[in-house]
Chain A
Amino acid sequence: MRAEWTKMRTVRSTVWTLLAMAVITLGIAALATSTIASRWNTFSPLRRLTFDPTSMSLRGLLFSQLIIGVLGVLVMSAEYGTGTIRATLAAEPRRARVLIAKSAVFFVLAAVVGEVLAFGGFAIGQSLLTSPVPHATLSQPGVLRAVMGGGLVIAVLGLFALGLATIIRHSAGAITAYVGVLLVVPIILQTLPSSFSEPILKFMPFTISNAMTSVASQGSTAFSPWVGFSILVGYAIVSLAIGGWLLAKRDA
């Protein structure tokens, strides 16, 4: 476990990636909310009524989801790319333990970073939403769940990506698969008739995380936040389980 932490910490790209993730996520929170604030006068009454200040300040988390996925992939695939995996598995031949230790360390790292960015984005966003624009506080119903949940989604998606990388073993392939599931599939689905796409879209991480980071209910187009979240956890567990099984079975 400590060894896995040493490994993540001692590669310069981990630090840079997390830094980039923070800048982009917080930057988008600031940009999105300040744009709203400056345009508020032009909004229609309906738009003003359905405006969700929490969700707006968490917009940047979508980029965090992308970047944490790339990082989750790299944490595993870099070992294959560089051959470090053989040193790792020689040092700890119980391969399941290697994957568990790596997942645990990465989950904690991603959860901490995810929460910091979710709460940070929320704080920045709300401070920029000045009267007459409504802003949210954590004590309002559903707000704390949206912010905290937004951070948790980051951590779970990171694990899902780590699982994909364990299965695929190549950075480019695993990142493609991850981005495909996260963004490309939902975009394609949205071009199809909704009677066909809606039941599938409900299961997409994109939809699930939207429901989580919104205070308002998404109606029948999405699962409720925690049901969706459980499905997301399911994806992560399945990808890690398949990855772990293959890791044990395959030659290093």
Chain B
Amino acid sequence: MIDVRGVTKRFKDNVAVDDLHFEVPTGVVTGFLGPNGSGKSTTMRIIMGLDHADQGEAVINGTPYRKLAQPLREVGALLEAKAIHPGRTAFNHLWFLAQTNGIPRRRVHDVIELVGLDQVANRRVGKFSLGMGQRLGIAAALLGDPGTLLFDEPINGLDPEGILWVRNLLKGLASEGRTVFVSSHLMSEMALTADHLVVIGRGRLISTGSVGEFIATNAGQYVRVRTPRPDELEGLLEAQGAQIRREGDGSLSVSNLSAEQIGITSGNAGISLYELSPQSASLEDAFMEMTRDSVEYHGQRLDGATATTIGK
């Protein structure tokens, strides 16, 4: 389990991470979502003891990373792909890392095979494609067979086959009872991979909880309505407390009111409907909804009412 406790990190006058609290549970894949520059990579570097937090701390199974004697055996991380000397071979890169933590040479061969780089293990990393670099980074993370794994945007640069491979790998690692923490800005990908989510915006926690809860609470259900008399219907529905958004194609997205209530209202008013279909929002929609908030409230303090916290 990873426990981030009130971590704040400033770069000059720019607050990259702002009083962040969250936990990453064991045995499931936890997605770490946030728009560009929201502080995901910085948070991961702080968890890994690479950056110093200005306030707060991050602990892994109760211990700060820097106190771990053989950290690679407990925590593995892919932070940036290709942060590897281009003149060294894949094997030698993994071998020097293994030596620092007393990991046997056999294991280096094993992880190389596991990520499918056996053909190129003795080639210089400088000649690797983006995808091969990612695979090597993943091999390095798995080297010490750790119980906790962090991946910063692991599917960047991978082809569809590679993406599927990573997705299954992450799920497999979690099902073995490991803690798996994956950052991404691809919500659709997290919907397929993650069970649990931590969402941040501008360095602040926006939400944490299961993927299902996340969608239900944050985007919720809405009803798609098409009618020849949208203005009239909109007025009537709003009078009943509905929230309505006009879509580009002229349809209405109605939330806060069930399809039945909408049907009755329009029937009573004699307004014909071409379409009345309940929709459930995708993770993508939920995410957009939230980050729109974190952008909207920029410059003001987010108070408790606007910072939705679920799963507590």
Contact = CB atoms under 8 A, between A and B. Distances in A.
Interface stretch (B89-97, B202-210, B248-256, B267-275): B89-97
* From B97, B100, B140, residue with most partner A Cβ within 10 Å: B100
20 contacts: A2-B99, A3-B96, A4-B96, A10-B96, A82-B84, A83-B84, A86-B45, A86-B50, A87-B97, A90-B48, A90-B50, A91-B97, A93-B49, A93-B71, A94-B66, A249-B52, A251-B50, A251-B52, A252-B45, A252-B51
Contact of A93 (B68, B93, B97): B68
A31 B50 CA distance: 50
A252 B72 CA distance: 17
A137 interface: no
A12 interface: yes
A92 B67 CA distance: 10
B88 interface: yes
A23 interface: no
Contacts of A10: 88-89, 92, 95-96
Q: Which 8 residue pairs across A and B have the least CB separation, nearest first? A: A83-B83, A3-B99, A10-B92, A6-B96, A91-B100, A251-B51, A252-B50, A93-B66
A93 B99 contact: no
A12 B87 contact: yes
A86 B49 CA distance: 10
Given A87-B97, A89-B50, 10 more contacts: A3-B96, A3-B99, A3-B100, A10-B88, A83-B80, A90-B48, A90-B50, A90-B72, A251-B50, A251-B51
Nearest to B82: A83
Contacts of B84: 82-84, 87
Nearest to B94: A87
A12 B45 CA distance: 30
Interface residues of B, number: 33
B215 to A, nearest CB: 34
A92 B100 contact: yes
Interface in B26-72: 45, 48-52, 65-68, 71-72
Interface of A: 2-4, 6-7, 10-13, 78-79, 82-84, 86-94, 249, 251-252
Nearest to A101: B100
B78 to A, nearest CB: 10
Nearest to A85: B83
Given A90-B72, A90-B77, A84 B83 contact: yes
Given A90-B72, A91-B71, A11 B49 contact: no
B79 interface: yes
A11 B85 contact: yes
* From A3, A87, A93, residue with most partner B Cβ within 10 Å: A87
A93 B52 CA distance: 12
A13 B66 CA distance: 32
Nearest to A78: B85
A94 B87 CA distance: 26
A77 to B, nearest CB: 12
Contact of A82 (B66, B72, B85, B96): B85
Nearest to B48: A90
A87 B125 CA distance: 15
B86 interface: yes
B277 interface: no
B66 A251 contact: no
Contacts of A12: 87
Given A2-B99, A89-B49, A251-B45, A82 B79 contact: no
B101 interface: yes
B83 A6 contact: no
